[in-house]
Amino acid sequence: MKQLFDQRCKQYPLDARYISVLAKGLGLKKTDHYKLFSVMGREELLDHLTRSSYRDFVHQGDWHDSRFRMNLHMHSVCSDGSLSLEDYLEKGQQYASLSAKKVDDLDRLPALTLGLTDHDTIHGLQELLKILALNPEKYQNLRVVLGCEFSCAYRSEEMFNQPFSFELLHYGINPFDQAIIKHLSALKRSRRAVLHQIVTTLANRFPFVEFDAVEASFVSDNMFKQQGTNFPFDLLRYAITKLIDAKYHDAIYDICFRTYHMNVNDQDKIYNEVEEVFEHTTEYSLIGLPHPAKMNLTSRILKSKFVEACHQRAYNPSMEATWRIMSDLYQQGMEFVELYYQSYSGDLSESQTNIMPDEMNYQARNDADAWMMHFYNFANRNQLAKTGSYDTHGKTIYRKLN
């Protein structure tokens, strides 16, 4: 193992420095850096993505499929997932060890590579490294990418009535980076404060209903942990259960979204600003857009003048807006798009299946196809890396849910 580790460090010198940073955070001696054998860094990941195809991100069958090699977007109990860190690694290494015996192209891709990308937290990554370092031989067939899924707000006075919420994946994170830790802790504190403010506003606006911040915090795992993009949506859901009559819903929406969603003060934030995510990158980082076709630009978000201007030019407003967002992200340093996302539903799932594996020659047949191809075209035009996942939240490493 040590010899293989040394060879990899020579092949990927940037990743060798990344491993050194992680080892220092763990307090490992230089002679023990090999204990992080399973960690995959930016350089190696990009190299493997050039060799991967759509099929490497697809699991077929009831359990083991040795052609399934990568799931780069997974959640643990540290956010809204069901897998403990121990189970995450145990199930991963069992699957990887079986695949290692069956595949004949380990020179192309490792037996299995998994990404841990919890919502707005890197707490679990430190524990993950500790487990790996205790028994590196056990996990030698499994490769792990350290990441985080940041909830973000994108602002545009021209396009949007309110900030548009979406997510960014950050690979190659250093979980001992105090700047990121402090930033995410401050965001969590701000969300708690905003939760109390919004509940107070709801109580004042509708005095005949009893609203309670503690009760609201139990709407979802992420609300309880102050993570993820669904903060205002969860609050809206909570408020509507209190006020079922539809005549109140527009007022509730305004309170849950617009009242605090527009604030940019550090004390009022419920999302990371896009610029902040890129500010916290290092030379080891890799930033990209997950599940792009889920970018939901509703009529409430898009400004009527922008929509009208798009129609006058025969543009699709949602496509125009998302293209502009992606162009801005690309200018700031975005390097991949999660095009091989396996957990779309309905028409999007069917389109994904139809488009692949012949994406370069596929002709859209319906709106869902056109929407999906919109993101493929952007990635191909800008030569972005293509990743994929099941966005795992359950206890099975090759599905979204159990």
Q: For residues 223 and 234, is the Cβ–Cβ distance under 8 A? A: yes
Q: For residues 38 and 139, is the Cβ–Cβ distance under 8 A? A: yes
Q: For residues 198 and 236, is the Cβ–Cβ distance under 8 A? A: no
Indicate the residue type of 278. F
How would DSSP label each residue in 140-179?
TTEEEEEEEEEEEEE--TTTBSSPEEEEEEEES--TT-HH
CA proximity to 351, closest of 375, 327, 385: 375
Distance CA 32, CA 52 (A): 31
Give me the tens of pLDDT residue by residue for the chain, a chain 402 residues long. 899 999 999 999 999 999 999 999 999 999 999 999 999 999 999 999 999 999 999 999 888 999 999 999 999 999 999 999 999 999 999 999 999 999 999 999 999 999 999 999 999 999 999 999 999 999 999 999 999 999 998 999 999 988 899 999 999 999 999 999 999 999 999 999 889 999 999 999 999 999 999 999 998 888 888 888 888 889 999 999 999 999 999 999 888 886 555 555 656 788 899 999 999 999 999 999 999 999 988 888 899 999 999 999 999 999 999 999 999 999 999 999 999 999 999 999 999 888 876 777 788 889 999 999 999 999 999 999 999 999 999 999 998 876
Residue 332's alpha-carbon distances to 114, 154, 279, 376, 386, in angstroms, are: 26, 13, 10, 19, 18
Q: For residues 176 and 186, is the Cβ–Cβ distance under 8 A? A: no
Handedness of CA 99, 100, 101, 102 (dihedral sign): positive
Per-residue pLDDT, 356: 78
Handedness of CA 131, 107, 44, 67 (dihedral sign): negative
Indicate the residue type of 157. E
Name residue, tokens 């692949």.
356
Q: For residues 280 and 333, is the Cβ–Cβ distance under 8 A? A: no
Taking residue 175's Cβ as centre, other Cβ atoms within 10 Å add up to: 21
Per-residue pLDDT, 117: 98
CA proximity to 288, closest of 155, 171, 156: 171
Taking residue 294's Cβ as centre, other Cβ atoms within 10 Å add up to: 15
Which domains are delineated in the chain?
2-177+280-389 (3.20.20.140), 183-268 (no CATH)
Angle at 331 between CA 328 and CA 337, to 5 degrees: 75
Query: Which segments within 155-240 are labelled E, that is strand?
Result: 164-171
What is the CB-side half-sphere exposure of residue 248 using CA atoms within 13 A? 17
Maximum Cα interatomic distance, the chain, rounded to a whole number of Å: 70
Residue 331's alpha-carbon distances to 104, 151, 287, 290, in angstroms, are: 39, 19, 12, 17
Distance CA 136, CA 142 (A): 10
Per-residue pLDDT, 382: 98
Per-residue pLDDT, 266: 58
Name residue, tokens 């002709």.
363
